[in-house]
Structure 1
């Protein structure tokens, strides 16, 4: 008898096939167990290794032994006329068919049965796309701090953000922005729910344990539709290896998502390990947005730069802190912006293609210096490097609006929201842009999105008040503006009072606006709306002399349309540098 015939008679082929089918089913169960029970990422690999080792043992066993009514006996001890191999073969055939049917049924169910149902409250936050999210889209969730010292959370958060920024530098990859991904920190939301709200197909999550100079990092890439782990790995390294680990994670994501890179893959920016810790600590402090936290963050960044004077990201972060100090009124405008520009320029000197530096300098050129030509150049370069960077898109949208290019402004804001659906500032910008474009229904939807993110935010109350006014309900708008208070509330009250024919009360509203620190541009808008054009242009001149940054946004306000026929309007636009001729020269 030939070897092949003997292998068939002893059911070796059937045993091998049965083992392979069973192994596949075991691996599927192990994969689900890792997702549902939070088992370590190596659990699946360990099960696979055991099954591989077991395969030759099972094959050898099936050759050497036979199942008989008396139990398992060595094959050579069983007479051929009493052998049960034919009966065993029939039973194994049935078992194989049944298991294959189960496996096929599971595969069909996986494709036909939806994994999860998104709650009604989350529907408004999704960007409608009938085709669903791109397969090459991902959200990086905040890595969990597993350190004994809970104060090390700055490190796990910072590492997560650095990974996000590294992946965002890959143009072929769609990466959800930090504002939206970090909003899920500690929420307990499921992976499918998070992916649905962020409109991504994959989620990267993990944990960090730091003890002195030692770190343990675990990362896993999950396909949101079925919860399967596409890739996972753990590292036990020294702190100095953190940059190599970031590169390895990014490379694994690119490979798992089958991303075809058109250029060289980006790499984590390497610096001294202690300087890196100081940098991450400064970011955590800066996020508190208080006078003291900004000052402490700046001190830590200067310490990091003393260690590594060519640490571009530390220069970048220092410039951002200095801009925010001006924005919060903690530092005089001129001094703060000069410091910020110097810091951002130093970052760009170290890394000429640093998008954060390009975008930040573009913003400073536009709002602080009214150098719109430079702003356009910097933002154009930043968009070429990172087309999906939400901060770049938002600033580019604002620049387009400065020149009255609303057909460009709105799509740029919409593109930013697609990447960062929870970004309140961008949502507010888009809602106000819709209002001034007469798209009240779209504005209402964006305000609903804002309310879902931060229901008690001032930005929500402000947008709701203006939506009410643009809708023509001046009485209700007056109530909302009164409740809003402050400079914005009294500014809006002036418009509503005029609509209601209560011009005798506008003087009081203007005085309240003045007491609340109202800007010259706001006074100008009120005078323009009530028909006092001379006083309106006088206030615009005062705004120009004071460098009121609201002045560069006047082409976006619908309630200034009464000034358009006045020759002084075009002269004002030319004086600021935001006329149509300027836009054409700059290329906007």
Structure 2
């Protein structure tokens, strides 16, 4: 008897077929367990490895042994007359058919019923090649500082911020905001989970080590849907601004290549530009960006000092001039211009000077145009001129969440609430973990009477930020305006300590809607006593009273 016929007689082929189908089912179970209880990615690979290793012993076992009515016996101990391999073959055929039916059922359920729930929004990708109608989204995780010295830690943070700014100016892909990715610094979370939480299809991660006058940067791009490593590179360079900008340009090009998209000649030229060749000026500039991102008054003061240092070291550093103008005009607004409490006119004069210098050395860039827009907005409340300048910035940096959100605020000031809501929702796609954007977008949706969207947004916000007073206030506003549920609205309002003009207006409105004038008067009186130094707010409170 030939070997093939003997393998067939001993049911080795049937056992192999059954083992293959059973292995596929076990791998599906392993994959479900991984996603359900958060097992590491190595789990599925380990199960696959064990199944592959187990195949040969199973086949050898089926060759050596035969199942008989008395139990397992070695093949050589059974005479041909008493062998029941043909009967066993029928049982194996039925077993394989049953397993195949189960496998087809599992595949059908996964394909046609569960597929939408298994893919994280906005993931319309099944591979690394994006659809022609979808712009891929990249999350750049904070660079890990591989050296413990202060310079290395600061440089890793600053370079991450600057890289995000430059990538956000490209048309080929969208980039998640720094605000939203910072919470993943040093995380041990699964990259698929991070991608799902941020709505990102691709994740860039890496590290930086500064040693003396040299820098080592490693980066790798990963498909967040499949965990496939698409690109990786390590750069060992002398620590100069030219080399740092060259690395950023190379990373941007690699991301575009991995996504099968192309950068325009203008974008390549923009990435290849060197804003300054003074390393100390660039380091001061990075300190300023780090401070400005925190949006507190001490941070704004710190950013102004850093930017002043940067332009002092390199008077032709146009981007530093633009960011200096942004910080100065923001200080002018926050320290009096917003409510009319004696704003510092010297700040607006310095902001204008910084803007003029930016326009001289860095004309037509996103930073300069955003600074021009903010100058009109915060300096003069000239929202139409600000919107024109911002339109030019959007043409240069269409996927920058700061530019998109500023458009939303300008449109809201102009009373174009529907357009403002659309802009802020777009900004949230790129900055999904920004609590301030949650607050502003919710307030705008409520004002635009887009209650269904406001409900969905505020429920997500209260889940993520249950103790944030602005979010709690927003929940009360939705309950009052959209649901006319004054009991719930007041319950939420009473949980907060009114600390901003916006909160005061919302609290007062809710009390007035509920016809509880006593509580409204008390809230206003308490606020007037605490804001006695702010004449505009005091006047508004008197008008309310």
TM above 0.5, one fold? Answer: yes
Change (3 A) 1:273 1:505: closer
The structural deviation recorded for 1:195 is 1.4
Counterpart of 1:267 (choices 264, 267, 271) is 271
Residues 419-498 of structure 1 aligned to structure 2 (within 5 Å): 419-470=430-481, 471-486=483-498, 490-498=504-512
Partner residue of 1:235? 235
CA distance in 2, matches of 1:257, 1:195: 16
TM-score (norm 1): 0.63
Is the contact made by 2:421 and 2:448 (CA closer than 8 Å) also made in structure 1? no
Is the contact made by 1:136 and 1:259 (CA closer than 8 Å) also made in structure 2? no
**What is the CA deviation profile of residues 440-492 of structure 1, one whole-angstrom value per residue up to 9, with x for unaligned ones?**
33212212333354432232122122122212122332333233232555544
For the pair 1:220 / 2:220, whether they are aligned, the reply is: yes
**What is the CA deviation profile of residues 108-136 of structure 1, one whole-angstrom value per residue up to 9, with x for unaligned ones?**
x9xx999xx99x9x99xx75676788473
Counterpart of 1:299 (choices 305, 309, 330) is 305
For the pair 1:358 / 2:369, whether they are aligned, the reply is: yes
Residues 545-556 of structure 1 aligned to structure 2 (within 5 Å): none
CA distance in 2, matches of 1:309, 1:113: 61
Partner residue of 1:245? 247
Partner residue of 2:85? none
CA distance in 2, matches of 1:268, 1:449: 41
CA distance in 2, matches of 1:421, 1:222: 20
The structural deviation recorded for 1:290 is 5.5
For the pair 1:376 / 2:387, whether they are aligned, the reply is: yes
The structural deviation recorded for 1:372 is 2.7
Is the contact made by 2:121 and 2:196 (CA closer than 8 Å) also made in structure 1? no
Change (3 A) 1:300 1:399: closer
Is the contact made by 2:477 and 2:510 (CA closer than 8 Å) also made in structure 1? no
CA distance in 2, matches of 1:280, 1:412: 28
- Kindly report the root-mean-square deviation, in angstroms, between the aligned alpha carbons of the 2 structures: 3.5
SS in 1 for 2:220: strand
The structural deviation recorded for 1:232 is 0.8
For the pair 1:418 / 2:414, whether they are aligned, the reply is: no
Residues 81-160 of structure 1 aligned to structure 2 (within 5 Å): 134=134, 136-150=136-150, 152-160=152-160
The structural deviation recorded for 1:401 is 2.0
SS in 1 for 2:289: helix
Counterpart of 1:279 (choices 279, 282, 285) is 285
Is the contact made by 2:176 and 2:430 (CA closer than 8 Å) also made in structure 1? yes
Change (3 A) 1:328 1:437: closer
Is the contact made by 1:143 and 1:205 (CA closer than 8 Å) also made in structure 2? yes
CA distance in 2, matches of 1:148, 1:237: 19
For the pair 1:254 / 2:256, whether they are aligned, the reply is: yes
The structural deviation recorded for 1:513 is 3.0
Change (3 A) 1:478 1:284: same
Is the contact made by 1:138 and 1:202 (CA closer than 8 Å) also made in structure 2? yes
CA distance in 1, matches of 2:365, 2:176: 19
TM-score (norm 2): 0.68
The structural deviation recorded for 1:506 is 4.0
Change (3 A) 1:514 1:129: farther
Residues 36-47 of structure 1 aligned to structure 2 (within 5 Å): none
The structural deviation recorded for 1:495 is 2.9
Q: Compare 295-304 and 267-276 and name the one that shifted more.
A: 295-304
Counterpart of 2:522 (choices 494, 503, 508) is 508
Residues 202-213 of structure 1 aligned to structure 2 (within 5 Å): 202-213=202-213
The structural deviation recorded for 1:301 is 2.4
